Structure 1
Amino acid sequence: MPIALTDSDFWSAFLGGGSFTGRRVTVDAALQLATVWACVRLLSETIATLPLGFYEKLADGSRKPATDHPLYDLLHNQPNAEMTAVQFWEAIIASMLLWGNAYIEKARIGKRIVALNFLLPARMQKRRLLSGAMEYNYRDLDGTQRIIPEDDLVNIPAFSLDGVNGLTPMSYGANVFGAAMATDEASSKVFSSGMRAAGFVKVTGSLKKEQREDLRASIKQFAAGGPEAGNVMVLENDSTYQQLTMNPGDSQMLESRSFNVEEMCRWFRVPPFMVGHSANSTNWGTGIEQQMIGFLTFSLRPWLTRVEQAIRKSLLSPGERSKFFAEFAIEGLLRADSAARAEYLAKMTQNGLMTRNEGRAYDNRAPLAGGDELTVQSNLVPLTMLGKITSTAGSAKSALRQWLGIKNDEDQNET
């Protein structure tokens, strides 16, 4: 089916946004910038590899994995026949980062959701009907168009001004990305000529047009490394050749390129050091650690919350929303830090917030006998008293009196 001229969403994605440099900024063009590629990969891959749990709230306020719910396997393991959970959520986050919206189609058998299918944002058109409902018109890969009911679609907008339509980064950030593209192009052209700029020839007297062109062509072969490079240059009529020089620092336009990296990182809210740009950034432990905390708090958390709330809104029925919920486990980032992981589990088990077996399950270890009791650390207790203190104050006092050899109040006073 031909593409209509009124298909604004398609042409906006295809042509991109105009910039002050005159370049059209499209998703494909922006991804050719190393910083954009690194930022999108960093955010999408990090979020996609975080464990996404689906839980049931219990009457006592606790929770348990809702493994019997149809959505558990779809969200946690495999949303559809073609994608794993990592591939699926990676595409969802990348869509929000690059197009400003992500779309998921719900496949059903009866009322049961059996698959979640990713839809390309560039192929989606949407409009609000007079009834107030949203109509989604999707163009499949074979060119056919179909209307997807609102109940069968999950729309996750990124930063939005109306709460429904996410703003397209390639349009609003066209000047930022366009400037970076222009700087890279200019730098590449300088390097393609071997960092040798044009020179000039000083001639006594004036030349005719034909003589001037012949001299320019002759000099160009030597200056640009042509077939005559390495031979002796012959100049006539009192002429002198002077080649202009350019140092590598100027040719790379280091300051401009460095500023562009920081600008694009600012656009995606990614610390520059996380994409390999360490200029003006501390490499000491405390500095990097604090930047990592900021990355988790201000970069990852908003995206995680968007996905979690979209699951509640669009995948759960009104009756299920008070009982079931999805949540990313940020602790999954500790898998790469064994020291921090060990410290976390030690504090949770030693302070009675997690049993030993819960801690072992968190670390994919088999449970042990006697490991289902909550325990806390006891300070200043004699070794011989360990295991004798019970939960009641009376029995604890009695055990302490026995250890001290106190039989009556008189002995207690003497003691």
Structure 2
Amino acid sequence: MTIPSTNMSSFIISNGQILPNHLVSAEYALKNSDVFAVINLLSSDVASSTISATPPFENVLKSPSPLISGYNFWQSVTASLLLSGNAYVTVQRDSSNIPTRLELVPPSDVNVILADDANSLTYTVNYQDERGTINYPASNMLHFRLLSTGSNQTDSLIGISPLQSLVQSVNMQDFASQLTLSTLKNAINPSIRIKVAEGALSAEEKEATREAFEKANTGANAGRPLVEDQLYSFDSLQINSDVAKFLSTMDFGKTAVAEAFGVPSNYLNGAGDEQSSLDMVKSLYRNTLRRYTMPLEGELTAKLGVPVDFDESSAVDADNGTLISQIQKLLSGTTPAISPLQAQQMLQKRGVL
């Protein structure tokens, strides 16, 4: 059974092939500033995590590719995971079966094949270069997933992106932005209306009236008192109050994006919870990061056969202030929870000392 490499809520048939119908594509989603902000935030912080594993496996995790840095590699992997719910990474091994190189493959280039007895998976990668098509056993394909629902045989094997829940919100936010631009353009240009009390004006007379008004109120005359006669009057055009009120409520998109990815709204420059302490927000965000490092740890541990850990503490606590504060609390009191030597080791592990 050939399974689409991304799990979408609907499919299209093209030239006899079943292809996922991307309701919110990655290219479109990243044009939304709020979606871009949360993808960039999470992928950057996951990539900033300290990766540890048993040697020599730790070497390939810290330097997975000769083409880009380890940070950029894991940032790209996490971005693919967030945008499509799946990230595919091929594993190259040496004669001793030790991984020597990892390569991220676009989900659109991957076919997931389930054996007839449903006991094994094979991944077919259609490279867009001279390598052509290559089949990989599951042991040499790192398949990172988000939220495999398990509602049927295929859904248990393919992940779902948080973007699935943002289809309506992103579309409404896009329409709101278009409405805002259209309303502002129509309100500002023109911004002044001149009324003539009597008579119907020809096109030439209208132009002459317009030029006379502009000459009297721009340039050296800008800011000077305005003089009106009985034939003319003017007023300024404004945005309809109902439209303005509607547009002022369109921040719901920011909240929806934050909710879908589990990020505190404060991190997307929203209003957030004004009463929350900085430590509480950091704790909530660290829990969010843990949801995205666990799929990486679980898959790497299963395929490499050794424990792999992504320590996201350095990403959340960049200045080490939280760590130092926690160590001080553990050292305080008549019976400290840790010894000074243990505290020194904790600080050395983080790189503070």
Same fold? TM cut 0.5:
yes
1:347: how far off?
5.2
2-side partners of 1:356 and 1:290: how far apart? 23
Q: Could you give the per-residue CA deviations for residues 226-280 of structure 1, whole angstroms, max 9, x where no partner exists?
A: x999369xxxxx9999775216994585433211111121111111111111x36
Q: Could you give the per-residue CA deviations for residues 149-197 of structure 1, whole angstroms, max 9, x where no partner exists?
A: 2221111111121231112444453212111111112212233445458
Native 8 Å contact 2:43 2:78 kept in 1: yes
| Counterpart check, 1:343 vs 2:331 | no
Equivalent of 2:293 in 285, 304, 316: 304
Equivalent of 1:101 in 86, 94, 101: 86
| Counterpart check, 1:180 vs 2:170 | no
2-side partners of 1:303 and 1:124: how far apart? 22
2:184 is matched with: 191
Native 8 Å contact 2:85 2:146 kept in 1: yes
1:149-168 matches, within 5 Å, as 149-162=137-150, 163-168=156-161
1:63 is matched with: none
Native 8 Å contact 2:89 2:103 kept in 1: yes
Q: Could you give the per-residue CA deviations for residues 23-44 of structure 1, whole angstroms, max 9, x where no partner exists?
A: xx32111111110011111111
2-side partners of 1:242 and 1:339: how far apart? 58
Amino acid of the residue matched to residue 303 of structure 2? S
Q: Identity of counterpart residues, as a percentage?
A: 16
2:105 is matched with: 119
1:213-362 matches, within 5 Å, as 230=214, 244-246=237-239, 250-251=243-244, 253-277=246-270, 279=271, 281-282=273-274, 284=275, 286-297=276-287, 299-316=288-305, 324-333=306-315, 335-346=317-328, 351-352=337-338, 355=342, 358-359=345-346, 361-362=348-349
Amino acid of the residue matched to residue 49 of structure 2? L
2-side partners of 1:281 and 1:351: how far apart? 33
2-side partners of 1:291 and 1:330: how far apart? 15
Native 8 Å contact 2:122 2:136 kept in 1: yes
2-side partners of 1:79 and 1:243: how far apart? 62
CA shift in 2, pair 1:347/1:202, >3 Å:
closer
CA shift in 2, pair 1:338/1:327, >3 Å:
closer
Q: Could you give the per-residue CA deviations for residues 284-308 of structure 1, whole angstroms, max 9, x where no partner exists?
A: 5x434323222222x1122121111
1:139 is matched with: 126
2-side partners of 1:192 and 1:123: how far apart? 43
Q: Could you say which structure has the greater relative contact order, defined with CA pairs below 8 angstroms and 6 or more residues apart?
A: 2
2-side partners of 1:189 and 1:289: how far apart? 42
2:225 is matched with: none
Native 8 Å contact 1:200 1:243 kept in 2: yes
Native 8 Å contact 1:195 1:248 kept in 2: no
1:129 is matched with: 115
2-side partners of 1:127 and 1:137: how far apart? 8
Native 8 Å contact 2:266 2:272 kept in 1: no
Amino acid of the residue matched to residue 295 of structure 1? Y
CA shift in 2, pair 1:27/1:82, >3 Å:
same
Amino acid of the residue matched to residue 179 of structure 1? M
1:47: how far off?
1.2
Q: Could you give the per-residue CA deviations for residues 122-149 of structure 1, whole angstroms, max 9, x where no partner exists?
A: 3222232313222322222338333322
1:200: how far off?
9.4
State the superposition RMSD in angstroms.
3.8
1:50 is matched with: 49
Native 8 Å contact 1:154 1:310 kept in 2: yes
Equivalent of 1:5 in 15, 33, 48: 15
2-side partners of 1:85 and 1:249: how far apart? 51
SS in 1 for 2:42: helix
Amino acid of the residue matched to residue 273 of structure 2? S
SS in 2 for 1:230: helix
1-side partners of 2:282 and 2:232: how far apart? 63
1:391 is matched with: none
2-side partners of 1:338 and 1:166: how far apart? 34
Q: Could you give the per-residue CA deviations for residues 359-385 of structure 1, whole angstroms, max 9, x where no partner exists?
A: 45325477xxxxxxxxxxxxxxxxxxx
1-side partners of 2:47 and 2:252: how far apart? 29
Native 8 Å contact 2:163 2:260 kept in 1: no
SS in 2 for 1:43: helix
Alignment gaps of 5+ in structure 2:
1-12, 151-155, 217-230
Native 8 Å contact 1:96 1:158 kept in 2: yes
Native 8 Å contact 2:46 2:315 kept in 1: no
CA shift in 2, pair 1:145/1:334, >3 Å:
closer
1:4: how far off?
6.3
Equivalent of 2:74 in 81, 89, 95: 89
2-side partners of 1:46 and 1:249: how far apart? 41
